[in-house]
Chains A and B, each alone.
Chain A
Amino acid sequence: MTSEWSQTLFPLCPMCVYVLKEGFYNVINSRPRGSRICTPPLRTAVKRPMDAARVAVVGAGVMGLSTALCISKLAPRCSVTVIADKFSPDTMSDVAAGILIPHTYPDTPVHKQKQWFRETFDHLFAVANSAEAGEAGVHLVSGWQIFRSIPTEEAPFWADVVLGFRKMTEAELRKFPEHASGQAFTTLKCEGSAYLPWLQKRVKESGGLMVTRRIEDLWELHPSFDIVVNCSGLGSRQLAGDSEIFPVRGQVLKVQAPWVKHFIRDGSGLTYVYPGTFNVTLGGCRQKGDWNLTPDAEMSRDILSRCCALEPSLQGAWDIQEKVGLRPSRAGVRLQTELLARDGRRLPVVHHYGHGGGGFCMHWGTALEATRLLSECVQTLRTPASKSKL
């Protein structure tokens, strides 16, 4: 995985030496001592056919890795390198419970959200029913979304994407005396701690590379790469100069309570119980603009108390671990191509970030769309007539 890389990758100069080692690429810095520190371009000695487009995917969360996989499978003649400062288990995606119950994006049309959710659901459903399910950390889970009052809409846009969606019966609602109505359905859970390594493995099998490196400026990737796919989430504030993306802090508890087989979500989305393969995720909170990654003890007590109100047997939970993640939130997912230009240089960038708390729900659908945008970029690069426009 990334340990082969992280110790040996340094900023490069033309004097840097590339060593080919067992299919991985180590970079050794051979600058003389005392030389000026520069930020030279990142070079890779990628074996590729002459006209393969060199794609750098920035970010190794669920967006970066799934986009890298889609590109390596679907985009013609591309080489893919995933570059990130953090890989699983240290990404935001590792904190997320990964339950497929969509959030809504005010700035994205509903039909688009439904399409992305459906594509993601279908993809994960196939994984869940295959022999890879255990390794990929994807499984079915049934449960209830409950409301303190009767919701205005009869059924959400995703009701026919999940399985067996229906209103809860009176008998079922008796389990939740403080709630007036609810919905029962079967959906999927996709656990970052297993899914991300599984994606990485598949990207590598397709010839993709993983590089641990913190990118401070997208221009570092020029001219080593032809196209950049930016999946850096909150990193886009700096890398893309996007002030519309902001953190919504979430704190969760991961506990042992193996008797819990159903999810429970309060309609507000603030309190939830999501049973997974290795633990049960209890949440949560939504603190807009809060960058603090340290767990708050009082919040943990509050989360446990709210979840025990929904599921009293959780009082017997043990091995309680606190985690914090920052949802990379935006009014709408940014899926667009931008052509960066500076001093006569050109660098096409496909932006693919801003999913907030709905990343796992939408990731495959948006990765497919990012791959389409990338394919258009590749096409543009290869067309001689338009080269003059670049």
Chain B
Amino acid sequence: MPSPMSTEEAPQQSPRQGTDSLGVRQGLQAGTMRVVVIGAGVIGLSTALCIHERYHSVLPSLDVKIYADCFTPLTTTDVAAGLWQPYLSDPSNPQEVHWNQQTFDYLLSHIHSPKAARMGLAPVSGYNLFHEAVPDPFWKDIVLGFRKLTPRELDMFPNYSYGWFSTNLILEGRTYLQWLTERLTERGVKFFQRKVESFEEVDAPWVKHFILTHDPDSGIYKSPYIIPGIQALTLGGIFQLGNWSEANSIQDHNTIWEGCCRLEPTLKDARIVAECTGCRPVRPHIRLERERLRFGSANTEVIHNYGHGGYGLTIHWGCALEAAALFGKVLEERKLLTMPPSHL
């Protein structure tokens, strides 16, 4: 165990004693806890904020740093349209249902605040379209006003015969990351740069609803979708497992454009303002668990929180709460907590 040091800011530790995901290193002094969060997308920043909000008052010397190879506007989160909606099928890990609900409730509680727009947050209603009847999704009672589409509404979409209408939320990745960055900076969290989805953004301010189409043969998000953001409209429909390329592809551009114009003919008047590609961090289910690593004689706790695929924004806060709870357990085991953490 390293010897205790003064209360001044400790020098940066070498990577050998560094960490993975959320690194928790043995405190240098009773009550000191240094945390490094790796990744500055929505998962990294929200986990950092969640931990700091909950433990800073009980652990005043809590020191949280964020390490990432890229920051907003260059992260995968920045590429996301930001529609709150989980995948259609039940998650393989039932805890994910709970985390999704927690995230929606958390975001909904901010809707009535004047700062909602500055968070990139707004309610948005819209349509999920199918070629045939499908069972209701597990999240139907989480979103607001979930119902089936009426025949007149289905007339608007000649290629589809069944669908849902609901009021969801938009949480725009880029704006939310900026907001999280501001909150973390206010709290004294420092960011360090240490060293990866295809879609188009168009200017079409008359489109007020999201439209997601689903094709069971293709798979999730391989069918055209339209998601209104705060300033621009996102058109998408690309989900290519195993493709690491972040370069824009002409073929994908055409797939998206033709598919979305068929779905929403008014797009012919829209101006394309951006074209981006991102790599969703896909995994069969999210990895959210502790792992103890040994480097020589040092013990390092790692809390993993990755693999959120195409529903990171949708589930981020529930996962951040879980990661914070795991962090709390670490503190308890190391007898660093003198009082229970505040529950915000």
Q: Which A residues form the contact surface with B (CB < 8 A)?
A: 128-131, 133-135, 137, 139-142, 163-164, 166, 168-169, 171-172, 175, 184, 186, 257-262, 275-278, 308, 312-313, 315-316
Does the CB pair A313–B117 fall under 8 Å?
A: yes
Binary A-proximity of B149-173 (CB < 8 A = 1, otherwise 0): 1101100100000000101001000
Write out the residue numbers on chain A whose beta carbons fall within 8 Å of the beta carbon of B230: 258-259
Which of B115, B145, B204, B208 is in CB contact (< 8 Å) with A261? B208
CB-nearest residue of chain A to B228:
A261
Q: Which chain B residues (186-233) contact chain A, with CB distance < 8 Å?
A: 204-209, 228, 230-231
Contact of A261 with B125 at beta-carbon distance under 8 Å, contacts A129-B156, A163-B150, A316-B114 already known: yes
The CA of A262 and the CA of B145, in the complex, are separated in Å by 14
Does the CB pair A175–B111 fall under 8 Å?
A: yes
The CA of A378 and the CA of B151, in the complex, are separated in Å by 40
Which of A133, A135, A172, A312 is in CB contact (< 8 Å) with B116? A312
CB-nearest residue of chain B to A127:
B266
| Closest-CB distance, A183 to chain B (whole angstroms) | 11
Contact of A175 with B204 at beta-carbon distance under 8 Å, contacts A131-B268, A260-B122, A261-B228 already known: no
Binary A-proximity of B136-157 (CB < 8 A = 1, otherwise 0): 0000000011010110110010
Write out the residue numbers on chain A whose beta carbons fall within 8 Å of the beta carbon of B117: 257, 259, 313, 316
Binary A-proximity of B231-242 (CB < 8 A = 1, otherwise 0): 100000000000
Does the CB pair B144–A172 fall under 8 Å?
A: yes
Which of A130, A168, A313 is in CB contact (< 8 Å) with B265? A130
The yes or no answer to B124 lying at the interface (CB within 8 A) is yes
Write out the residue numbers on chain B whose beta carbons fall within 8 Å of the beta carbon of A135: 269
Does the CB pair A134–B113 fall under 8 Å?
A: no
The CA of A259 and the CA of B115, in the complex, are separated in Å by 12
Which of B145, B204, B209, B270 is in CB contact (< 8 Å) with A172? B145
| Closest-CB distance, A306 to chain B (whole angstroms) | 15
The CA of A272 and the CA of B267, in the complex, are separated in Å by 28
Which of B114, B145, B205 is in CB contact (< 8 Å) with A315? B114
Contact of A133 with B205 at beta-carbon distance under 8 Å, contacts A172-B144, A312-B116 already known: no
Write out the residue numbers on chain A whose beta carbons fall within 8 Å of the beta carbon of B116: 259, 312-313
| Closest-CB distance, A237 to chain B (whole angstroms) | 36
The CA of A133 and the CA of B167, in the complex, are separated in Å by 23
Write out the residue numbers on chain B whose beta carbons fall within 8 Å of the beta carbon of A277: 205-206
Closest 10 CB pairs of A and B: A134-B269, A133-B266, A139-B206, A259-B122, A315-B114, A277-B206, A142-B125, A259-B117, A259-B230, A312-B114
Write out the residue numbers on chain A whose beta carbons fall within 8 Å of the beta carbon of B341: none
Interface centre among B117, B231, B269, by most A CB within 10 Å? Answer: B117
Contact of A140 with B209 at beta-carbon distance under 8 Å, contacts A313-B116, A316-B114 already known: yes
The yes or no answer to B294 lying at the interface (CB within 8 A) is no
Q: Which chain B residues (262-301) contact chain A, with CB distance < 8 Å?
A: 265-266, 268-270
The yes or no answer to B123 lying at the interface (CB within 8 A) is yes
The CA of A262 and the CA of B210, in the complex, are separated in Å by 12
Binary A-proximity of B54-92 (CB < 8 A = 1, otherwise 0): 000000000000000000000000000000000000000
Does the CB pair B144–A164 fall under 8 Å?
A: no
Which of A142, A171, A315 is in CB contact (< 8 Å) with B209? A142
The CA of A190 and the CA of B280, in the complex, are separated in Å by 39
Does the CB pair B113–A131 fall under 8 Å?
A: no
Interface centre among A312, A313, A315, by most B CB within 10 Å? Answer: A313
| Closest-CB distance, A113 to chain B (whole angstroms) | 20
Interface centre among B114, B150, B266, by most A CB within 10 Å? Answer: B266
CB-nearest residue of chain B to A166:
B147
Does the CB pair A168–B145 fall under 8 Å?
A: yes
The CA of A169 and the CA of B166, in the complex, are separated in Å by 12
Does the CB pair B122–A313 fall under 8 Å?
A: yes
Interface centre among A133, A261, A278, by most B CB within 10 Å? Answer: A261
| Closest-CB distance, B110 to chain A (whole angstroms) | 10
| Closest-CB distance, A163 to chain B (whole angstroms) | 5
The CA of A259 and the CA of B265, in the complex, are separated in Å by 23
6 pairs from A and B in contact (CB 8 Å cutoff):
A131-B266, A164-B150, A261-B209, A262-B123, A313-B116, A316-B114
Write out the residue numbers on chain B whose beta carbons fall within 8 Å of the beta carbon of A186: 125, 153, 165
The CA of A142 and the CA of B165, in the complex, are separated in Å by 10
Which of A257, A261, A316 is in CB contact (< 8 Å) with B118? A316
The CA of A230 and the CA of B117, in the complex, are separated in Å by 46
The CA of A261 and the CA of B230, in the complex, are separated in Å by 9
Write out the residue numbers on chain A whose beta carbons fall within 8 Å of the beta carbon of B165: 164, 186
| Closest-CB distance, A259 to chain B (whole angstroms) | 4
Write out the residue numbers on chain A whose beta carbons fall within 8 Å of the beta carbon of B125: 142, 186, 261-262
Write out the residue numbers on chain A whose beta carbons fall within 8 Å of the beta carbon of B206: 133-134, 137, 139, 276-277
The CA of A169 and the CA of B145, in the complex, are separated in Å by 7
Write out the residue numbers on chain A whose beta carbons fall within 8 Å of the beta carbon of B343: none
The CA of A331 and the CA of B208, in the complex, are separated in Å by 35
Does the CB pair B269–A139 fall under 8 Å?
A: no
Contact of A258 with B208 at beta-carbon distance under 8 Å, contacts A134-B270, A172-B167, A313-B122 already known: no
Write out the residue numbers on chain A whose beta carbons fall within 8 Å of the beta carbon of B121: 259
Write out the residue numbers on chain A whose beta carbons fall within 8 Å of the beta carbon of B204: 134
Binary A-proximity of B93-119 (CB < 8 A = 1, otherwise 0): 000000000000000000111111110
The CA of A372 and the CA of B149, in the complex, are separated in Å by 36
The CA of A129 and the CA of B265, in the complex, are separated in Å by 7
Does the CB pair A140–B205 fall under 8 Å?
A: no
CB-nearest residue of chain B to A177:
B112
CB-nearest residue of chain A to B120:
A259
The CA of A128 and the CA of B156, in the complex, are separated in Å by 10
| Closest-CB distance, A262 to chain B (whole angstroms) | 6
| Closest-CB distance, A105 to chain B (whole angstroms) | 26
Known: A134-B206, A259-B121, A316-B115. 15 other contacts (CB 8 A): A128-B266, A129-B156, A130-B265, A131-B268, A133-B206, A141-B208, A164-B147, A164-B149, A175-B111, A175-B123, A259-B116, A260-B122, A261-B209, A262-B123, A275-B208
CB-nearest residue of chain B to A316:
B117
Write out the residue numbers on chain B whose beta carbons fall within 8 Å of the beta carbon of A134: 204, 206, 266, 268-270
Does the CB pair B111–A140 fall under 8 Å?
A: no
The CA of A168 and the CA of B167, in the complex, are separated in Å by 11
